[in-house]
Amino acid sequence: MDLEREFEQTVAADHRVEPRDWMPDGYRATLVRQIAQHAHSEIIGMQPEGNWISRAPSLRRKAILLAKVQDEAGHGLYLYAAAETLGADREELTEKLIAGRQKYSSIFNYPTLTYADVGVIGWLVDGAAICNQVPLCRTSYGPYARAMIRVCKEESFHQRQGYELLMTMMSGTEQQRALVQESVDRWWWPSLMMFGPPDAESSNTEQSMLWRIKRHTNDELRQRFVDMSVPQAAKLGVTLPDPHLVWNAERGHHDFGEIDWTEFWQVVKGAGPCNAQRVEHRRKAHEDGAWVREAATAYARKKEQAA
Ligand code: BYC
């Protein structure tokens, strides 16, 4: 009882819960679930953009894209390390991902069809990620909160590189502007889905808010993202593909159209355009890397013996 009270006091006082502190089993399990999904998203998220590294239009664009995709690998590492502080085994998490027993963000199951997608992912997908992740810098679990500080700094670079790329394309030819618009049309709705189901259908939000793992609900963050994106779209000169998107002075927010939740759940359940390809690619990369893991383990053992 004392331990439970101490945990509740820590959370209520907005102090951080640390790995060695007592915590309820449900709190630990929720964190492992969310952090693992987050880590998997970063690693799977390397694939759609990685698709364009070899076809970037200049050395500068290639260097930027390479750095961004490498950052995602780093984010995955910080997050897997945070999950390990809760007793999770990284190898096991990877196996669950490959077996389809753990989720990753729906957004990465859509294809990157044109180079404009690199800019739009930076602008919208990383923009949505920032909206969702900045509050996670204040999440109640210490190692997760600290990992998010660095992740967010890098994400804001990613968002800016996307916006800058789009600005460049929008001041180019008619064909370049059309490529950007077509890409925005494809990514807008899936970006809104990144925030998860509506609050009324979100099974985890209520408890996660009480534990201060989540600091805002899915709908609150989605609204923030819409409000943030509208002036950015206007500045870019693109149209967001939603005829119902309109400023509501009474609410002080933009109203927007109905999200296709049937599509969302299909993608989450594995039937999106690229789910099979993404998981298969990850499985193959993991298998191809087995010799590296074996060599590193053997080397570490040898060093330990020598010491
Ligand atoms: N996709 O109760 P809910 C990035 C699942 S990385 C798939 O609201 P919760 C980036 C949810 O897991 C982006 N599944 O859940 C990387 C739950 O199922 P389970 C990733 C989703 O956890 C590289 C069920 O639906 N960011 O941005 O309270 C390049 C009910 O949902 C999704 C993070 O992971 C989805 N979109 O709230 C560029 C951030 N949404 O587990 C960019 C950390 C929901 O009960 N995560 N589900 O079987 C979070 O903040 C929360 O986990 C979420 C969902 C807001 C995503």
pLDDT tens column, 215-235: 999 999 999 999 999 999 999
For residue range 4-39, what is the model confidence (pLDDT) as tens digits?
A: 999 999 999 999 999 999 999 999 999 999 999 999
User: Distance (Å, rounded) from C-alpha 243 to C-alpha 256?
Assistant: 8
112 lines ligand 1 (CB under 6 A): no
Distance between start and end Cα atoms, the chain: 44
Pocket of ligand 1 contains residue 208 by CB under 6 Å: yes
Q: What is the pLDDT of residue 1?
A: 77
CA torsion angle for 93, 133, 285, 272 (degrees, to 10)?
A: 90
Q: How far is the CA of 195 from the centre of ligand 1 (A)?
A: 7
pLDDT along the chain (307 residues), means of 10: 94 97 98 98 98 96 97 97 97 96 97 98 98 97 97 96 97 98 98 98 97 98 98 98 98 98 97 97 96 96 96
Question: Whole-angstrom Cα distance, residue 163 to residue 142?
Answer: 32
109 Cβ below 6 A of ligand 1:
no
Alpha helices in the chain (DSSP H): 2-12, 25-44, 46-50, 59-84, 90-98, 116-120, 126-133, 142-170, 174-193, 205-210, 218-236, 261-266, 275-288, 290-306
CA of 180 to the centre of ligand 1 (A): 27
Which residue's CA is minimally distant from atom 49 of ligand 1?
Answer: 34
Q: How far apart are CA 95 and CA 91, in angstroms?
A: 6
Going by alpha carbons, the residue nearest to atom 25 of ligand 1 is 196
Is any atom of ligand 1 closer than 6 Å to the C-beta of 69? Answer: no
In sign, the C-alpha dihedral spanning 297, 298, 299, 301 is positive
Q: Is any ligand 1 atom within 6 A of the Cβ of residue 72?
A: yes
Q: What is the pTM of this model?
A: 0.96
The protein residue whose alpha carbon is closest to atom 21 in ligand 1 is 196
CB 212 within 8 A of CB 140: yes
239 C-alpha to ligand 1 centroid (Å)? 27
The DSSP result for 23-77, as a single string, is: --HHHHHHHHHHHHHHHHHHHHTHHHHHTTGGG-SSHHHHHHHHHHHHHHHHHHH
Q: What is the pLDDT of residue 146?
A: 97
Question: What is d(CA 278, CA 108) in angstroms, rounded to the nearest whole number?
Answer: 8
Q: Is there an atom of ligand 1 within 6 Å of 126 CB?
A: yes
- Output the residue whose Cα is nearest ligand 1's atom 50: 132
The predicted structure's pLDDT at residue 112: 98
What is d(CA 180, CA 120) in angstroms, rounded to the nearest whole number?
Answer: 7
The candidate with the shortest Cα–Cα distance to 267, out of 200, 202, 194, 217, is 194
H/E stretch holding 255? strand 253-255
Instruction: Give the DSSP letter of residue 214.
Output: -
Distance 220 CA to ligand 1 centre (A): 14
Calpha distance 247→252 (Å, rounded): 7
Task: Supply the pLDDT for residue 221.
Answer: 98
Helix/strand/coil for 247 = strand
Residue in 31, 105, 126, 212 to alter for ligand 1 test, most ligand atoms within 8 A of Cβ: 105
239 vs 294: CA distance, rounded Å: 51
270 closest CA partner among 102, 48, 154, 33: 102
Any idea which residue has 């059309």 for tokens? Answer: 178
Q: Are 39 and 79 in contact (CB under 8 A)?
A: yes
* Cβ of 83 below 6 Å from ligand 1: no
Q: Measured between alpha carbons, how far is residue 305 from residues 291, 293, 299 in Å?
A: 21, 18, 10
Residue 106 Cβ inside 6 Å of ligand 1? The answer reads yes
Burial label, 119 (beta-carbon count in 10 A; 0-12, 13-18, 19+) = buried
Residue nearest atom 16 in ligand 1 by C-alpha distance = 42
Quote the crossing angle between the two packed helices 275-288 and 290-306, to the nearest 10°.
Answer: 40
CB 130 within 8 A of CB 157: no
